Amino acid sequence: MTTEFLEIDGGRLAYDVSGQGRLIVLSHGMGDNRSSYRGVAERLVAAGYRVACADLRGHGESTVGWSSYTRTDTAEDLLALIRHLGGPAVLVGHSFSGGSATIAAARAPELVDAIVEISPFTRAQKVDAKAMLSNARYRKGMLLLTGTGLLRSVGVWKRYLAHAYPGTKPAGFAAHVAALDTELSRPGRMAAVAKMGMSAPTDAGAVLGDIRCPALVIEGTLDPDWPDAAAEGTAIVTTMPPGLGHLETIEGAGHYAHAHFPDRVAATIQTFLTDNTRP
């Protein structure tokens, strides 16, 4: 893919575009980069979509030094990219960006046809003390996420990634983590990750009831970020306006279903769009 750049107030965003057809914009989560969507993007392009993959501010080939790193900031970045690419678009956000997709859809319904949120942090969170004692997967995930934020440690983040991809790792996992190690070791990168991690998703939760487009929430059944990821997904969907939200689970997936099981995720997105939106 050829990297392109969008200059906006405060910095420069990196992205790539491939394919022809209806526009889909893919936005990754904190501590990652746009290549995590490679498998999903290839399948969506083959299915007849025009697909843009973007690096979050402070990540990948995008610049650092932004004044803030909230979900609202990322929502505005994504809306700027959609305008630049001649939207409207279907907006897909993973984890941190799932909340940003909600905000973008609520703020600019004319630019967002539908949203897909993969393992999204879209509601206010609190540690489940009971689950910390009884659920080893959740306990380890929370300790590693907390350690990453407090220590701003690439090494701890890599341990979290290994935990968040349960079971057999996907092809290219080691190379992807090695690339992230190099990227996140650059000045300012882990500071951006830490700031995103400290940014509460209350801005996204406040507008869940304001979206006007169909929305799909995808949860991995083995996601360590929640004691029960399906229950979190259900809570998000039920906060949306009636009839707009849909929940799908990916059996055996952790927090990175799109990178671990791109066939299943791409097929789930295509079915959702066919059944719930107009081309």
Q: Give the per-residue pLDDT at 87.
A: 85
Contact 74, 57 (CB under 8 A): yes
Residue 38 has pLDDT above 80, yes or no: yes
Q: Give the per-residue pLDDT at 9.
A: 86
pLDDT tens-digit profile of 91-143? 999 999 999 999 999 999 999 999 999 999 999 988 999 999 999 999 999 99
Q: How far is CA 135 from CA 123, 213, 219, in A?
A: 21, 35, 18
Dist CA 129 CA 66 (whole Å): 34
Count of CB atoms situated within 10 Å of the CB of 145: 20
Q: Give the per-residue pLDDT at 278.
A: 81
Average pLDDT (19-29) is 97
> What tokens were used for 82?
């959609």
Q: Give the per-residue pLDDT at 122.
A: 96
Residue 212 has pLDDT above 90, yes or no: yes
Dist CA 51 CA 192 (whole Å): 26
- Domain segments of the chain as ranges: 4-276
Q: Report the DSSP beta bridge partners of residue 91.
A: 25, 115
Average pLDDT (193-211) is 96
Q: What is the pTM of this model?
A: 0.96
Average pLDDT (144-173) is 96
pLDDT, greater one: 87 or 251: 251
Dist CA 251 CA 160 (whole Å): 20
Residue 1 has pLDDT above 80, yes or no: no
> Which residue intervals of the chain are DSSP H helices?
38-46, 71-84, 96-107, 129-134, 136-151, 154-164, 173-184, 189-198, 202-205, 229-239, 257-260, 262-276
- Strands in 89-94's sheet, in edge-to-edge order, are 4-8, 11-18, 49-54, 22-27, 89-94, 112-118, 215-220, 245-250
**What band does 279 get if pLDDT is binned at 50, 70 and 90?**
confident
| CATH class of segment(s) 4-276 | alpha beta
